[in-house]
Amino acid sequence: MSSAEAFETHLAGQRLRERIFRGSTLAAAVLLLLLLGGVVVSLLHGAWPAFSRFRLSFITHDVWNPVTDSYGALSAIYGTIVTSALAMIFALPVSFGIAVFLTELAPPWLKRPVGVAIELLAAIPSIIFGIWGLFVLAPLLQASVEPWMDSHLGAVPLVGALFQGAPYGIGFLTAGIVLAIMIIPFISAVMRDVFETVPDVLKESGYGLGATTWEVIWKVVVPYSRTGMIGGIMLGLGRALGETMAVTFVIGNAHHISASLLAPGTTISAAIANEFTEATTPLYTSSLIALGVLLFVITFAVIAAARLMLLRLGRRALASV
Amino acid sequence: MSRRLFRKFVNLLALALSGLATAVGLLFLGAILWTLAKDGFAGMSAAVFTQNTPPPGSTSGGLLNAIYGSVIMTVLGIAIGAPIGILAGTYLAEYGRNSPLSAVIRFINDVLLSAPSIIIGLFVYEFVVVPMGNFSAISGAIALAIIAMPVIVRTTEDMLNLVPQGMKDASTAMGAYPWRTITSIAYPAARSGMVTGMLLAVARISGETAPLLFTALNNQFWSTNLKAPMANLPVVIFQFALSPYDNWQQLAWAGALLITAAILVLSIAARVAVSRLGPGSGRK
C-alpha cells in the first residue's frame, strides 16, 4: 500500500469517527426532546381513564373518596395554590433582603461565606426540610404561634377566618413556612446574580446625585433588573408548586378545603406521594396520575415563563440555579 | 423631621432590614444543621452501618441495605445520565451552537432542570415500572438519571463554551476533525468544570425522594437484585420518620444526617474544585 493510499484509509477512518461522534451527540440532544415528549405522552396515557370518566368535574369537585372511587382534585389544587402563595409572601421580602445585603451591603470578606452558606441551604434535600418541619417547626408553631393567632387574630373581621381553629401544628401555614425556607436560596441567588449585572456607572450616577444607598437600590437597581427579578421569583414559585417531600410531612394530608390557614389540607404533589403506592383501583391510580398532569401543566407554564424572562439576561445569571 | 433626616432614616431602616433578612436565612440553615447534628448523632451507632433496616417492633437495626441501595442507584443514575448529558451538552456547545434545534433543546433542558421531580417519578412509573410489571432498583436509577441529565448538559455546555476558540482553531488548523478537537482539546481543557457539574448532579440526586417512591419503592431486606425493589436512604427516612417507633425515628435522623453530610461535602468539594482550579484548569 502506497503512502497516499494509507493516508486515504486514515482519512476515511477519521471521517467515519467524525460521523459517529457527531451522530451520537445529536442523538443525545434529541433524546432530551423525546424525554419531555415522553413525559407528556405517558402522563396523559396514564391519566386518560380518570379524565374520560370525570371530565371537567375532576378539577371542579372537591370530593376525593377512594371508598366510592370518586375523585375531584379541587382540594389538592387549592392546597397547592395556598401553600405556594404563603411561601411567596414569606420568601419574597427575605430573599430580596438577602440579595441586597450580598450585593450592596456586605463587606467583601463576608460576601463569599454568606453567599456560599445561603447556597448550601439550597443543596439540602427537601426531605430534610420535611422532617425538620415535622419535628421542630410544627411543635413550635403549635405551642406558641398558632394559639396566639387563634385568640388574637381570629376575631378580626374579614381576615379572622384565616387564623381560626385548633392549633394542629401541621397544615397550610406550616407547609407555607417550610416551602418559603426552601425557595429563599433560589430566589435570592437569582436576584443577587441579576443585581450584579447592573452597570456600576448607573449606580454611581445615582450616588452622584446624592441618593442614599437604599434610594439607589430601589430607584436604579430594582427597575434595571425587574425582568430578571420576576424570572427568579417565578422560578421559586415553580419550585414551591412542585415541591413534594417537604410539604408531605407537614401538610396533614386531608382532602379538605378550609378557610383557616391553621387547618390541615393537602397539595397535588403530597397527595401523589402519599397515596400512589396505596392506590387500590386502576381509577384511583389514574386519578393520581391525572393530578400529576395538572401539576405538570401548572409548573410548566410558570417555569417556561420564568425561563423566557431570564433568557434575556444571558445564561450566566442562571448558573446558580 | 427634615426631609434629609427622613431619607437617612429610611436608608438605615432598609439596610438594617436586609441585614436582618440575611440573618434569618442563616438562622434557618443553622437551626436545621443543629437539629440534624443533635438528633443524627444521637441515632448514630455502629449498627447503622452493619445491620439492615429493622422490622416493626424490633429495637435494633441499622441502615446498611438502604445505604447500599442509595449508593448503587446514585452510581447507576450517574452512569446512565452522565454520558448522555455530556454528549448532549457537546452538541449544544459545539456542533449545534447556533442552530434553532439547539435553542429549543436548551429551553427544554432548562425546563427539565426545574421540573418537579415527582413528575419524573410518575413518568418512569408509566414508562418502566408498568411494562416491567414490578417496582425495581433499575427504574429508580433511570428516574435519577433523568434528574441528573439536565444538570450535566448545562454544566458541560457552559464549560465547553469557556474553552478559548483559538485553542480549537489551532487544532483544526493542524488538520484535526471536530471529534478529535473536542475529545483531545476541549474536554481536557474543560475537565474540572465538567467534574464539578457531575459532583453537583450527584449531590442533587442522592437526596431525591419523590421519584423513588414509586420506582425503586423500598425493601426491608438486603437485596442486590436490580430488577427487584431496593431499599434507599430517602424513602427509608420518609417511612421511618412518620412511623410511631422511637428507634425507627432515630434511624431516620441518622440517615438524614448521613445524606446531608454527604451532600454538603459534595457541594463544597464542587465549589473548591471551581475556585481552586478554575473552570478549565487544563488551559492555564
Residue of B148 and A158 predicted with greater confidence: B148
Q: What is the dihedral of CA B241, B242, B243, B245, to 10 degrees?
A: 50
Cβ contact B94–A25 (<8 Å): yes
pLDDT band at B270 (very low <50, low <70, confident <90, very high): confident
What pLDDT does residue B276 have?
62
Closest CB to B108 among A24, A33, A125:
A33
What pLDDT does residue A60 have?
87
Could you report the per-residue pLDDT of B184-234, keeping only the tens digit for each? 999 999 998 898 889 989 999 998 999 999 899 888 888 888 889 999 999
- B279 vs B160: CA distance, rounded Å: 10
Cα A167 off chain centre by:
27
Cβ contact B183–A21 (<8 Å): yes
Residues of B in contact with A93 (CB under 8 A): 21
Residues of chain A short of pLDDT 70, as ranges, are 1, 313-321
Q: Is A147 exposed, middle or buried (0-12, 13-18, 19+ CB in 10 A)?
A: middle
Cβ contact A17–B179 (<8 Å): yes
How far does the CA of residue B264 sit from the closest CA of chain A (Å)? 7
Cβ contact A184–B22 (<8 Å): no
Would you say residue B74 has pLDDT above 90? yes
- A126 vs A132: CA distance, rounded Å: 10
Under a CB-based contact definition with an 8 Å cutoff, are residues A32 and B109 in contact?
A: yes
- B77 vs A31: CA distance, rounded Å: 16
Could you report the per-residue pLDDT of A21-74, keeping only the tens digit for each? 999 999 999 999 999 999 999 999 999 999 999 988 888 888 898 888 889 999
Q: Report the share of chain B in percent with pLDDT over 90.
A: 69
How far does the CA of residue B220 sit from the closest CA of chain A (Å)? 16
| B161-180: average pLDDT | 93
What pLDDT does residue A44 have?
94
What pLDDT does residue A95 have?
95
Average pLDDT, chain B: 90
**Which residue, among B3, B122, B134, B204, would best test binding to A if mutated, counting the most A CBs under 10 Å from its CB?**
B122
How far does the CA of residue B211 sit from the closest CA of chain A (Å)? 9
What pLDDT does residue B277 have?
57
- A145 vs A134: CA distance, rounded Å: 15
Q: Report the share of chain B in percent with pLDDT over 70.
A: 96
Closest CB to B11 among A120, A132, A212:
A212
Under a CB-based contact definition with an 8 Å cutoff, are residues A264 and A168 in contact?
A: yes
What pLDDT does residue A39 have?
93
The C-alpha cell 442562571 sits at: A318
Would you say residue B280 has pLDDT above 80? no
What pLDDT does residue A160 have?
76
Nearest to B170 by CA among B188, B147, B154, B186: B186
Could you report the per-residue pLDDT of B252-269, keeping only the tens digit for each? 999 999 999 999 999 888
What pLDDT does residue A319 have?
45
How far does the CA of residue B224 sit from the closest CA of chain A (Å)? 22
Under a CB-based contact definition with an 8 Å cutoff, are residues A92 and A304 in contact?
A: no
Cβ contact A39–B119 (<8 Å): yes
